[in-house]
C-alpha cells in the first residue's frame, strides 16, 4: 500500500511497482485516516508511508496501522534526511526508512529487505550518521537543561517566529527574548542561532 499526499508521487510509485511482477499494489491514498481504514481492510504486506502529512502525521498513522494491521511492515518515506526522524520511525515500529532523494533501486531494495524481516535504512541517512560519528566532539546539546521559559522560546523558534514576534506572543520585552536566546545557546553549548535552528530541526520529538 502506498500512502503519500502528493498525487504525482503516489501514482508514479504505483505505476512503477505495478509493472514489477514481484509486487501487487493493493491500495493507495493520500490521507492518514483513509490509510488506516485501508490497512485494516486490505492488510498489506508492506506500507510505503509518507511521514509529512497533515492533519494526521505519518508518525500517528504508523501507530494506528500497527494496531489494526500488525502484520504490515512499514517503510517511512520522508523529505527529511536527519537521522532523528529515522530513529523515531523505527522506535514506533517501522521496519525501514528512505528519503525522497533515494533512487528507485534503493526503494526496491528497501521493500525486499523489510519483506524478509530485515531493517532497512537508506544510504543518505547512513552517510549522515557516519559523518556525525566522525565529527562528534564534547558538545552534546541537552534540551532538558532549559527552563520552562526557554523551552517556550525554543518552541517559538521551531515555528519560525522572530524575536519580535516571540516577545509579542509571550508579552515580554525584545531584550528579554534576546537574553533568553543567549542563555539557550550557552546551555546547549551551541555557537550561534544557525546552530540552534539546525539542532531544533534535527530533533524528531515534540517540544
pLDDT digits (tens, 9 = 90+) for 118-140: 999 999 998 887 776 665 544 55
Q: What is the pLDDT of residue 38?
A: 96
pLDDT digits (tens, 9 = 90+) for 93-113: 999 999 998 999 999 999 999
CATH superfamily of 2-134: Response regulator (3.40.50.2300)
pLDDT digits (tens, 9 = 90+) for 163-203: 999 999 999 999 999 999 999 988 888 888 777 877 776 66
- 46-50 and 120-121 beta bridge pairing: unpaired
Domain spans of the chain, in order of start: 2-134, 143-202
Greater pLDDT, 46 or 197: 46
What is the secondary structure of 98-149 as a DSSP string? EETTS-HHHHHHHHHHHHTT--EE-HHHHHHHHHHHHH--S----GGGS-HH
**Are 52 and 78 a contacting pair, CB within 8 Å?**
yes
Q: What is the pLDDT of residue 157?
A: 86
| Cα-based angle 155, 93, 102 (whole degrees, multiple of 5) | 80
74-78, 80-84, 102-106 — which is least confidently predicted? 80-84
Q: What is the pLDDT of residue 203?
A: 61
Which CATH fold would you assign to the domain 143-202?
Answer: Arc Repressor Mutant, subunit A (1.10.10)
Which percentage of the chain shows pLDDT scores above 70? Answer: 92
Average pLDDT, the chain: 87
pTM above 0.85, yes or no: no
Q: What is the pLDDT of residue 138?
A: 45
Instruction: Please determine, for residue 45, whether its predicted confidence score (pLDDT) is greater than 90.
Output: yes
Report helix, strand or coil for 75.
Answer: strand
Name the strands in the sheet holding 96-99, side by side, starting at the edge strand that comes first in the sequence: 28-29, 2-3, 46-50, 73-78, 96-99, 120-121
Report helix, strand or coil for 184.
Answer: helix
Amino acid at each position: 500500500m502506498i500512502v503519500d499526499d502528493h498525487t504525482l508521487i503516489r501514482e508514479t510509485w504505483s505505476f512503477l511497482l505495478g509493472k514489477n511482477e514481484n509486487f501487487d499494489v493493493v491500495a493507495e491514498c493520500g490521507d492518514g485516516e483513509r490509510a488506516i481504514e485501508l490497512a485494516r481492510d486490505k492488510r498489506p504486506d508492506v506500507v510505503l508511508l509518507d511521514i509529512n502529512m497533515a492533519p494526521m502525521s505519518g508518525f500517528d498513522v504508523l501507530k494506528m496501522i500497527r494496531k489494526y494491521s500488525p502484520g504490515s511492515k512499514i517503510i517511512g518515506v520522508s523529505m527529511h534526511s536527519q537521522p532523528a526522524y529515522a530513529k523515531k520511525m523505527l522506535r514506533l515500529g517501522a521496519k525501514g526508512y528512505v528519503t525522497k532523494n533515494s533512487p528507485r533501486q534503493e526503494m526496491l531494495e528497501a521493500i525486499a529487505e523489510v519483506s524478509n524481516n530485515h531493517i532497512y535504512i537508506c544510504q543518505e541517512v547512513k552517510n549522515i550518521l557516519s559523518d556525525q560519528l566522525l565529527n562528534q566532539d564534547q558538545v552534546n546539546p541537552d534540551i532538558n537543561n532549559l527552563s520552562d521559559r526557554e523551552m517556550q522560546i525554543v518552541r517559538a523558534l521551531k515555528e519560525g517566529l522572530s524575536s519580535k514576534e516571540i516577545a509579542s506572543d509571550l508579552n515580554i520585552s525584545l531584550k528579554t527574548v534576546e537574553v533568553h536566546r543567549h542563555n539557550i545557546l550557552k546551555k546547549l553549548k551551541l555557537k550561534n542561532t544557525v546552530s540552534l535552528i539546525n539542532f531544533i530541526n534535527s530533533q524528531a520529538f515534540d517540544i
